[in-house]
Structure 1
Amino acid sequence: MTIADSPLSTTSPDVRPLLADYRERFVPVAVDYLERRISANELRRLWKPHYLGPFHSYDLTVERSWREASGSKGVMESGAPTADPSFETPLKHFPVSIAYNNLDRLIEVLAIELGDQTVDKTKVRERTVDFAHVIDSLDVLMASLDN
């Protein structure tokens, strides 16, 4: 079954359940990581249920919303999306999907670099700043879509 065939169907993604789960389950994990209470591997282990659960469902809904609005069949289209008011909703939600996927990549990089060590052992301090910034900015972004 492809995403286009999946039973999910909506014209308006709802970020509220994702934001609530993010704040309840993942933000405390991120704080534990930044305060050196858990390793990078533990961060990754605790991130995956949120990423593969609530986020994945939200992301599929965003994609379905885009397909319904644009008539896309899932084929890569060249160029920027057409400026059309019917595309407003999915386009507002794409940044959340992009940020989540980037955060997932960053967590993977941290786990590869540090493994069972804590954040204080990193040789690339910018990753720690990036991680903290993304955690905060992602919360703000999702809250801005919570209407």
Structure 2
Amino acid sequence: MTVTDQGVQTGGPDTGPLLAEYRAIVVPTAAEFLDNRISAAELRERWRNYYFDAFRRYDLTVERSWREASGSDGRITSGPPTADPQLTTPLSHFPVSIAHNNLDRLIEVLVAELGDQTAEHTQIHERLVDYATMVSELEALMASLAA
């Protein structure tokens, strides 16, 4: 997939469509997992459908927006980033991308521990608290950026 693929938003990043998908897919799935109604493996399957579809389109839009605003060709440059007001919008959306990637890693950890078992079988209950907190806080972050 490239930044020119269909489905990538035009203009600046907009968390509105992503937030709608998140609320329709991720939030109810999280509740089912935390209520022991689905396994960690099922959690990952539903998450991956969202992550590699709705989130991927959004993430590519953030990348394209950054490249357009910064003139970047995608290579890492040395030195500190330039403080430039035109970079404010793409920079404000990076935390959404980072949080999604962190949530993806946490789900993989849950699957490695639990596999086809439900949340009640975890040996490290803090992971469930982390998961619930991340789902909730990511929703709030996206809502704060919604256009």
Q: How does 1:2-13 map to 2 (within 5 A)?
A: 2-3=2-3, 6=5, 8=8, 10-13=10-13
CA contact (8 A) 1:9 1:65 kept: no
1:91–1:22 distance in 2 versus 1, CA, 3 Å = same
1:142–1:132 distance in 2 versus 1, CA, 3 Å = same
1:126–1:77 distance in 2 versus 1, CA, 3 Å = farther
Structure 2 gaps of 5+ residues are: none
User: Identity over the aligned pairs, expressed in percent?
Assistant: 59
- 2:88 is aligned to 88
Which aligned runs of 4 or more in structure 1 are off by greater than 4 angstroms? 5-9
CA distance in 1, matches of 2:39, 2:5: 36
CA contact (8 A) 2:96 2:142 kept: yes
- 2:46 is aligned to 46
Q: How does 1:1-147 map to 2 (within 5 A)?
A: 2-3=2-3, 6=5, 8=8, 10-147=10-147
TM-score normalised according to structure 2 size: 0.93
What amino acid is aligned across from residue 32 of structure 1 in structure 2? E
TM-score normalised according to structure 1 size: 0.93
Q: CA deviation at 1:77?
A: 2.5
CA distance in 2, matches of 1:79, 1:132: 37
CA distance in 2, matches of 1:9, 1:117: 37
Structure 1 gaps of 5+ residues are: none
What amino acid is aligned across from residue 139 of structure 1 in structure 2? E
1:24-73 deviation per Cα after TM superposition (whole angstroms, max 9, x unaligned):
11110000000110010000011111000000000000000000000000
CA distance in 2, matches of 1:127, 1:80: 34
Q: CA deviation at 1:141?
A: 0.1
1:24–1:6 distance in 2 versus 1, CA, 3 Å = closer
Q: CA deviation at 1:81?
A: 2.1
Give the length in aligned residue pairs: 146
Q: CA deviation at 1:10?
A: 3.4
Report SS of the residue matched to 1:43.
helix
Q: CA deviation at 1:2?
A: 4.6
CA distance in 2, matches of 1:21, 1:60: 16
CA distance in 2, matches of 1:56, 1:93: 13
Q: CA RMSD in A?
A: 1.5
CA distance in 1, matches of 2:26, 2:54: 11
1:89-113 deviation per Cα after TM superposition (whole angstroms, max 9, x unaligned):
0001000000000000110110111
